[in-house]
Structures are given as C-alpha cells and as structure tokens.
A and B are shown apart, each in its own frame.
Chain A
Amino acid sequence: MPEEKKHPDRDQQDQSESFFRDDTSAETATPPPLVREPDKQAAESEKKKLEEITSKWMEGSGPEAEIVISSRIRLARNINGFPFPPLASDEQRQKVLSIAQKVLEEQKEHFSDMQMININNLSPVYRQVLVEKHLISPLQARENLAGGLIIRADEVISIMVNEEDHFRIQCLLPGLQLGRGWEEASRYDDYLEHSIDYAFHDELGYLTACPTNVGTGLRASVMLYLPALVLTGQINHILSAVNQVGLVVRGIYGEGTEMVGGLCQVSNQITLGQSEEEIWHNLYSVTRQLINQERKGRQQLLNEQRDKLADRAGRAYGILKHARLLSSQEAMQLISDIRLGVDLGLLHDVPVGILNKLLVLTRPGCLQYLKGRNLSPYERDLERAVRIKQFLP
C-alpha cells in the first residue's frame, strides 16, 4: 500500500475554511458595479477560490496522462435494514448522516484527514462546482435533501452520503491508475464496514437501490482524450466495438452529455457476476487498446498532416486568446485542439495541466463561483473568454 502524501497544513486549513466561505454571496445576485476596482482582498479570495476549483486529477500527471485524463473507481454501499435514500424519510436520511459522522469520529486513525460537508449548507453554485469537479452527482446537487460529502484533503477519496445509495465511495486519480483506484476505494470500503453493517446478500452481493449496480456495486471509469481517433474518423467504429464488450461511452459530464473534442468517458456496465478485478481489468485492457489506436492515429496525422495540425492548434490558440464570447462547447473543442498540438510538439509553452484545469474552470458552475454571483448564459460566454485569456500563457 503506497503511503499517502501528507499535505502541508496550510492546504488542509484553507480547505476546511473555504468550503463555506463566500457561498452566500454567490446566492445574492446583486448587480455588479459598472466600474470594478481591483482590490487586494478580492484578489486574495479569488486565488483561494481558484485553488478550491482545481483538483489533483487535473494535474496532467500519472501514467498515460496525455491520453487518459483520469481514472475513477466508485463503490455503492448500503446499510443493512435501512430504506435506500430515494424512499427514505428526512428523519431516516438524517440518521444515515449521523451514522456517517459517527464513523468518522470512531475511526480517527483512518478519517482524520477527511471532513464531512453537509450538501444542504452549500449554495447551488458551489454544488455545481462540486459536480464539475466530479465530486458529487448532479442528482445530489439538485435535490434539497439531507446529503453529505465526506472528502479527503487531497480530494482523491470522497464518499457521497445519501445519494442514490447510502454510501458511494469514490477514488479519483490522474492518468491511468485503475488498480490503485480499486485498492484505495476498497480500503475505505473496509474502514466503513468496520463500523457499519452492510446490506449484503449471499447470492447477489452488495445490495443497491438500482438493479444496475447490484453485486460488486463497482463502477470503474476512465476519462479519455482521443482527438486523433476523431480526426481520422475511426472513433465511431472503435466505440461501437467498445460497447460490445460491456462498456459504455459517454461525454465527460455523464449521462446524456456528448463527446466534444475527443473527450469521453468509458465505464463498465455490468456489476454482477464478475469480480472487481475482472471488471477493472476489462476496462484497463480496453483502455490500453484505445491508447494504442490513438497513438497510431496521432503518428499518422503527424506524418500526413503535420502542417494542418499545427495550423489547427495555432488557430485554436489565437481564437482562445482573442475571442470575447465563448460557449462551453466551443471552448472545449478549442482547448482540445491546442492540447493535441502541444502533445505532438507542434505548439509549445502550454502546460497540459492548464488545459485540464481550463476544462473545469470554464464550466458554468466554476465561472459563477469565481465571479461570486449568478451569470446569465450570455454573461458566462463573456466571462469564459476572459478567464481563458487570463490563464493561457
């Protein structure tokens, strides 16, 4: 078991304070003054907000990071003899929250670097930020019911409480690290089980609210960046093959979102009848093949269309640097174009980490959180352009 990185105290402190800071201001949508004065305090709080928005998985590090942005393992677990959250009363949901709180207190040795946040106390905008960082689900952000998020200081481990299941343990890592993700998630699963009687069935395994999660309760997924497969027109062919081996492909923002700029998410569908290792190995080996195909595609593009690609990346850079209005979709596509140029050595001086961060930073929730107020879609397009200009070197 790899030893966990200790984070400087400052980081932890920042985080524990900042989760609630300024949230209320985001809700009161007072019109901004016409002329904004740059003041020091605002700059400080902005810096803090930016730190909050960035996560470890955006670093652009980890194995195969130029193609696999992040790996995620999620385990669904429930308490024996308790109604599942969708049908639970408020009282029952509160009970589950207090059980979770008790586990944290009982097992200080395992949970001292974690804290529990009450989702209800967060502003809608901040919840949206957590969704965009892949730490809570859109469902949990939307419903105003008793729900919690237990989160480790480095945000690699998080546990949603009272989402569709009582507990959803998640491990989110940069690059291709499914094995480590499974180990870590499983370890926290053991900690929880130490204090909690799980709903477990001899034949069916871990019981979950939705029949699609029963058994292992495991969802393994990778966020992939496959621009060359898109540009060479192979993507549809390959993805339909992926579907045939029991995996699902979707956009990076979950169900119902589209694939933009070669960014997509691949995950397992089957949770029952296979061991956890089989499930993530299956995803792992398919991901390996996708990486190989993507690499071949990139090489092919480089050999045949070098100038076109460089042109494409340069144009994308130019637009992002000078545009005044950018929709999230256009921004995503252009960021993707730049990234391919950087990865292939055709464009320099743009660290991959910045591009990953921009993908999240330019989402509606993050833009509004940074701005400290609600923004109309039009204002968001303006703000997005400003942010991107500011962040691109």
Chain B
Amino acid sequence: MLCQKCGHKNASVHLTKIINGNKSEIYICEDCARENGELDFPLEGKFPLYQFFSGMMGMNVPGGDAAAPVPATVTGIQCSACGLTYPQFGQIGRFGCDRCYEAFGRNILPLFRRLHGNQKHMGKIPARAGTNLKLRKKIEQLKLELQKKIAEEAFEEAAGIRDRIRELEQKLVAGGETDA
C-alpha cells in the first residue's frame, strides 16, 4: 500500500486519531509521519533509559541483595551540595553534581553493577588528582603488609614498614595542601 500523503512510498505507519470523538485513519510512510511530527513519541525509539533506572536502583528489587535499599530509608537521602534527592535521581536518571555520588553512597552501587557488571574503575587516573590516589593505594598495601608482619611476630620489619607508612602519610598531607 502506498502512502496516502506523498503517494510514492510504502505506507508503514497506520495512524488512528480520535479527536472529540471523530475517528480518522490514515496510512502513511514513515518519512511523512516523521515530518508531520506524528512519530514524536514511542515509535521514535526514544524510550528513555532512565525509566529503567528506578528499577535498577533497587527500589523494586526483591530482598536478598544486601546493598538494596529499603524505599522508606532512601527517600530522605539528599545531596547537600546540589540538593538532588535520591528519588529525583531515579526520575531523571542523572546525577546533579559530583558530590551526589558520595551522598547516595552504597545505594547506587547495585545500579553500577547492573549497568556495567562492575563497581570499580580500572582505567586512567588523572595526573594531579592521581598522585594522592597512588599514595593512598601504596599506604593501603603497606598496612596490609604490616598486619602480616605483626601476625608473624616479625616486629623489626614491622617497625620499618610503620615508618614508611608515616612518611607516605606525611607526603599525602603535604600534597593535599598544595592541591587545595
């Protein structure tokens, strides 16, 4: 069947309009429909991603996921920097600012796991913000080592490690100051 509007393309859209009880039907091609603005809704494939989010945010996740929040406790969460509330985030599917990530804390981790299958960044680390991060990672690692040495009762080695941790921590503080 040819488009009833332009008459030269195949009609692929069947449009039924009911305006004040008057029903009109027309068969048109996709181009004409789009140009008419008739396709400005679901057919355009614009189902917004964020509609999935509220589901993924654990709001309707059956119990068992320890990190899944209970709605009643979640609704009160708000980012103190930009004022976005957790339910609002669920609606618009966008964070308001970088502080929202901290504010929503553990609640959003299931969302990341569902979207990415993961919740830990493994990629590039910015050079400046990164020096601190690298230091912290090193300190973390040394602390683990320290525990191990203490458990082994290798106190001399442990003391050496403790001193290195102190040294790095001082560096971290100094670095933090120059950064700010």
Please say whether chains A and B are actual partners in one complex.
yes
Give the interface of A toward B (CB within 8 A).
78, 80-84, 86-87, 164, 186, 189-190, 193-194, 197-212, 214-216, 218, 255-256, 270-276, 278-279, 325, 327-330, 377-378
Q: Among the listed B81, B111, B128, which residue makes an inter-chain contact with A81, where contact means beta carbons less than 8 Å apart? A: B81
Q: With A205-B121, A272-B121, A274-B122 known to touch, is A78 a contact of B98 (CB < 8 Å)?
A: yes
Q: 8 Å CB contacts to A: which residues of B129-162?
A: 129-130, 133, 136
> Does B121 lie within 8 Å of A201, measured CB to CB?
yes
> Does A272 lie within 8 Å of B116, measured CB to CB?
yes
- The 6 nearest A-B residue pairs measured at CB: A273-B118, A205-B121, A199-B98, A256-B45, A272-B116, A377-B35
User: Can you offer 23 A-B residue contacts whose CB atoms are under 8 A?
Assistant: A80-B129, A81-B97, A82-B97, A87-B96, A87-B97, A200-B130, A201-B121, A202-B121, A204-B119, A204-B120, A205-B123, A205-B124, A208-B95, A209-B95, A210-B94, A210-B95, A211-B115, A256-B45, A273-B117, A275-B123, A276-B123, A325-B8, A329-B31
> Does A209 lie within 8 Å of B116, measured CB to CB?
no
Instruction: Known A-B contacts: A203-B120, A271-B116. Give 6 more (CB < 8 A).
Output: A84-B98, A206-B126, A211-B111, A214-B116, A273-B122, A327-B9
Q: Give the distance in Å from the alpha carbon of A377 to the alpha carbon of B34 in the complex.
A: 10
Q: Give the distance in Å from the alpha carbon of A111 to the alpha carbon of B13 in the complex.
A: 49
| B86 adjacent to chain A (CB < 8 Å) | no
Shortest CB distance A255–B (Å): 7
Q: What residues of chain A lie closer than 8 Å to B123, measured between beta carbons? A: 205, 215-216, 218, 274-276, 279
Q: Give the distance in Å from the alpha carbon of A81 to the alpha carbon of B101 in the complex.
A: 12
> Does B116 lie within 8 Å of A215, measured CB to CB?
yes
Which DSSP category, helix, strand, loop or mixed, fits chain B's interface? loop
> Does B124 lie within 8 Å of A198, measured CB to CB?
no
Q: What residues of chain A lie closer than 8 Å to B9, measured between beta carbons? A: 327, 330
Shortest CB distance B79–A (Å): 10
Interface size grouping (class) on chain B: 35 or more
Q: What residues of chain A lie closer than 8 Å to B45, measured between beta carbons? A: 255-256
Q: Give the distance in Å from the alpha carbon of A255 to the alpha carbon of B92 in the complex.
A: 18
Q: What residues of chain B lie closer than 8 Å to A209, measured between beta carbons? A: 94-95
Q: Give the distance in Å from the alpha carbon of A81 to the alpha carbon of B82 in the complex.
A: 10
> Does A204 lie within 8 Å of B95, measured CB to CB?
no
Q: What residues of chain A lie closer than 8 Å to B118, measured between beta carbons? A: 215, 270, 272-274
Q: What residues of chain A lie closer than 8 Å to B99, measured between beta carbons? A: 81
Considering only CB atoms, which chain B residue lies closest to A85 in the complex? B94
> Does A276 lie within 8 Å of B124, measured CB to CB?
yes
Considering only CB atoms, which chain A residue lies closest to B35 in the complex? A377
Central interface residue in A78, A189, A207, A208, by most chain B CB within 10 Å: A207
Q: Give the distance in Å from the alpha carbon of A189 to the alpha carbon of B126 in the complex.
A: 9
| B46 adjacent to chain A (CB < 8 Å) | yes
Shortest CB distance B11–A (Å): 14
Q: Give the distance in Å from the alpha carbon of A72 to the alpha carbon of B149 in the complex.
A: 50
Q: What residues of chain A lie closer than 8 Å to B30, measured between beta carbons? A: 329
Q: With A78-B98, A211-B53, A325-B8 known to touch, is A86 a contact of B115 (CB < 8 Å)?
A: no
Give the interface of B toward A (CB within 8 A).
6, 8-9, 30-32, 35, 44-46, 49, 53, 81-82, 84, 92-99, 101, 108, 111-112, 115-130, 133, 136
> Does B94 lie within 8 Å of A164, measured CB to CB?
yes
> Does B31 lie within 8 Å of A198, measured CB to CB?
no
Q: Give the distance in Å from the alpha carbon of A205 to the alpha carbon of B118 in the complex.
A: 12
Q: Among the listed B94, B116, B122, which residue makes an inter-chain contact with A86, where contact means beta carbons less than 8 Å apart? A: B94
Shortest CB distance B46–A (Å): 5
Q: What residues of chain A lie closer than 8 Å to B94, measured between beta carbons? A: 84, 86-87, 164, 209-210
Shortest CB distance A145–B (Å): 15
Considering only CB atoms, which chain A residue lies closest to B114 in the complex? A211
Q: What residues of chain B lie closer than 8 Å to A211, measured between beta carbons? A: 53, 93, 95, 108, 111-112, 115
Shortest CB distance A91–B (Å): 14
> Does A207 lie within 8 Å of B122, measured CB to CB?
no
Shortest CB distance B93–A (Å): 7
Q: Give the distance in Å from the alpha carbon of A205 to the alpha carbon of B9 in the complex.
A: 49
